Copies of this chain bind each other. A is one copy, B any other.
């Protein structure tokens, strides 16, 4: 019998200390978002292949783990030889299943609906450090709210959650960047790009942090865009940067939709007083966010010393409608759960331990039933008081046994001999 000990490529076994840390983060997420009225929901990990390949998932659709048809259906597919051997697939994000969920359950849910999802997603990507084929995503979304209260609640709740989690490791400063897709589009059009060129121009602007304005200029010219448009476009961003006033930017950026500006200003003004000391919210004219489906405000949380965003999201008013046939306003924030866990791990000395007071009773081989009963009663008493208590046979190599228990956080050991 061939037996494979290691987990499937790109997926992880979680050791007890991994789980303690993850559970700790899960519980803080649930608590904070719960206080803001977000309700936890769950969709199956297995999704219809039709939904996964509906062109809403971008490049992720190339990375689907497909689940094979079974029985007669599989036989038929194999005989037909048309290659449609899968009827299902593993979800690659939580957004496509959310769209299906909302289309299916909308009547039973409050309106607007504030959803919290935490769950595993699967991508047959090339595994590398920090990139896995099974990983946990955490999304919060507000469905059915056209107003900026959605963004205000999403950003306030997420800032509160991150503040609480990072405070434990002494990080009190991070920055929420906000922008609006409509502003980004208007700047490009004002500079002279055609409507159908905007998406591609934004893909270049999105590289601002990596390649700078010169890099963007080179890229746009290489792609054959009009030199004058490129020059006008870059002039707008030459003096622009995170933290500048929206008004100042709008004044020099051409024909910008005033309602988008006003909306963004209101979001910033309403959120700012809710933030704790070290947290900033700033207008960032170069913030783009990758996904093409955003339609309004977009936002991202960054932290000094980390090149990746901790969380990011935006308004995507047309996406759920594409799935359900019914237009639904939607705005959401995706929390980099695995990134948060990585940061916490980086800052911790050793592993995430059991709570204090953890006690191990180690029972020698010849202990009588009577004595065992006494020990069990004592263990029960300590557990009643809230302690973690294990009762187990003493190993021959007791020193090694205690070392391993200490590594998990056991601090009190009682050796029981007859």
- Which positions in A face B, CB cutoff 8 Å? 1-8, 11-16, 18-20, 23, 30, 34-37, 39-48, 50-51, 54-55, 65-68, 70, 85-86, 88, 90, 100-101, 103-105, 108-112, 114, 120, 122, 124, 133-134, 145-147, 149, 152-153, 156, 266, 269-270, 273-274, 322-325, 358, 360, 363, 369, 372-373, 376-377, 380, 383, 386-393, 395, 401, 404-405, 407-408
16 new A-B contacts, CB < 8 A, other than A36-B389, A46-B134, A266-B369, are: A3-B325, A8-B44, A20-B40, A37-B390, A45-B45, A46-B90, A67-B90, A68-B86, A109-B404, A110-B408, A145-B393, A149-B372, A149-B393, A152-B372, A153-B392, A270-B372
Contacts of A70 in B (CB 8 A): 65-66, 124
A228 CB, nearest partner CB in chain B, Å: 39
A195 CB, nearest partner CB in chain B, Å: 23
Q: CB within 8 A of A323: which of B3, B30, B401? A: B3
Contacts of A48 in B (CB 8 A): 4, 8
Assess whether B8 is in contact with A46, with CB atoms less than 8 Å apart.
Answer: yes
Assess whether A13 is in contact with B105, with CB atoms less than 8 Å apart.
Answer: yes
Contacts of A55 in B (CB 8 A): 1
Assess whether A35 is in contact with B369, with CB atoms less than 8 Å apart.
Answer: no
Contacts of A34 in B (CB 8 A): 388
- The 4 A-B pairs of least Cβ separation, nearest first, read A37-B390, A11-B44, A16-B39, A14-B42
